[in-house]
């Protein structure tokens, strides 16, 4: 991003100087996303199995204790966000709705998968290659390579959320505007973490419903970030300087 100045009949563009650490993080993220495309056969099989409903035979159904546990666990991500100076509680309802629909479909009733299976006859890859199997709470969880990749995105996102929360919680009592730690490389590290968690679920469970809901939620959170920045600029005049030297997400 940059700002434009007009001067003596010509336009001069002032570019923002991006810190070195941000370039390093961007390179790491680029490498991570690029690695996802290395095994295209596994990726395409994974996507078609979910979209066409042939994953139906591998879905976990009726495990409502798993649904409840996951909804409670991932809804706890809202607690760190509530420590921000500006927090839109309407967004929390959207997040909870996302998690409820996601986990009901994954471990309760697979509405989208069942619908796709009936519509397309379950056509697609006969079987998906499982790279990891985990037995937990009486349930066998089978992971394909894209599911493991999605779990990695979720883990990285969780780290951003936790680090952002700890830094904000410690700093908000001492100073009005927190710009240290993860906030020195991202103006919205917690929201960045949330987006990575959502993206991880989308990669691991790419059904039609999840694609729609994930896209809506990510766009919504970007808009929340923009709204918060306008409010922070009013509350903290020094926020403009911080905004000019710190990237939006990464």
The 10s digit of each residue's pLDDT in 152-184 is 999 999 999 889 888 887 876 676 788 888 999
Where is pLDDT greater, at 38 or 31? 31
**Alpha carbon 238 to chain centroid distance?**
29
Q: Where are the domains of the chain?
A: 2-245
**Rama region for 208: left / alpha / beta (φ>0; ψ in -120 to 50; rest):** alpha
With H, G, I as helix, E, B as strand and everything else as coil, classify residue 81: helix
pLDDT recorded at residue 82: 60
Tokens 């989208």, located at residue: 112
User: d(Cα 125, Cα 14) in Å, to the nearest integer?
Assistant: 52
pLDDT band at 126 (very low <50, low <70, confident <90, very high): low
Cα 82 from Cα 74, distance rounded (Å): 14
Report whether pLDDT(15) > 80.
no
Query: pLDDT (tens digit, 9 = 90+) per residue, 21-30?
Result: 899 999 999 9
Instruction: Report the alpha-carbon distance of residue 205 to residue 121 in Å, rounded.
Output: 19
Residue 207 pLDDT exceeds 70: yes
* Pure H helices in the chain: 20-36, 40-52, 64-75, 78-81, 89-103, 111-120, 145-171, 189-204, 208-235, 239-245
Whole-angstrom Cα distance, residue 245 to residue 61? 49
- The phi, psi pair for 16, rounded to 5°, reads -75, 135
**Cα 199 from Cα 178, distance rounded (Å):** 27
Determine the Cα–Cα distance for residues 136 and 85; give it in Å rounded to an integer: 38
Instruction: Give, in order, the Cα–Cα distances in Å from 125 to each of 19, 112, 230.
Output: 45, 18, 49
For residue 118, give both structure tokens: 């009936």
């Amino acid at each position: 991003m940059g700002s434009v100045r007009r001067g003596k009949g010509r336009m001069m563009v002032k570019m923002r100087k991006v810190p070195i650490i941000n370039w390093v993080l961007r390179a790491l993220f680029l490498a991570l996303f690029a690695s996802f495309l290395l095994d295209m056969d596994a990726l395409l099989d994974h996507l078609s199995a979910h979209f066409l409903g042939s994953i139906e035979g591998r879905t976990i159904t009726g495990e409502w204790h798993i649904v409840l546990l996951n909804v409670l666990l991932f809804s706890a991500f809202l607690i760190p966000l509530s420590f921000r100076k500006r927090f839109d509680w309407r967004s929390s309802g959207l997040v909870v709705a996302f998690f409820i629909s996601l986990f009901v479909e994954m471990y309760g009733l697979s509405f989208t998968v069942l619908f796709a299976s009936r519509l397309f006859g379950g056509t697609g890859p006969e079987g998906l290659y499982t790279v990891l199997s985990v037995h937990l709470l009486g349930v066998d969880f089978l992971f394909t390579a894209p599911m493991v990749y999605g779990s990695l995105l979720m883990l990285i996102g969780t780290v951003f959320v936790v680090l952002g929360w700890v830094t904000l919680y410690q700093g908000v009592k001492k100073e009005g505007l927190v710009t240290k730690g993860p906030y020195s490389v991202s103006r919205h590290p917690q929201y960045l973490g949330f987006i990575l968690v959502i993206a991880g679920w989308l990669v691991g469970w790419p059904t039609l419903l999840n694609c729609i809901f994930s896209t809506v939620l990510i766009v919504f959170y970007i808009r929340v970030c923009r709204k918060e920045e306008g409010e922070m600029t009013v509350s903290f005049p020094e926020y403009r300087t911080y905004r000019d030297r710190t990237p939006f997400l990464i």
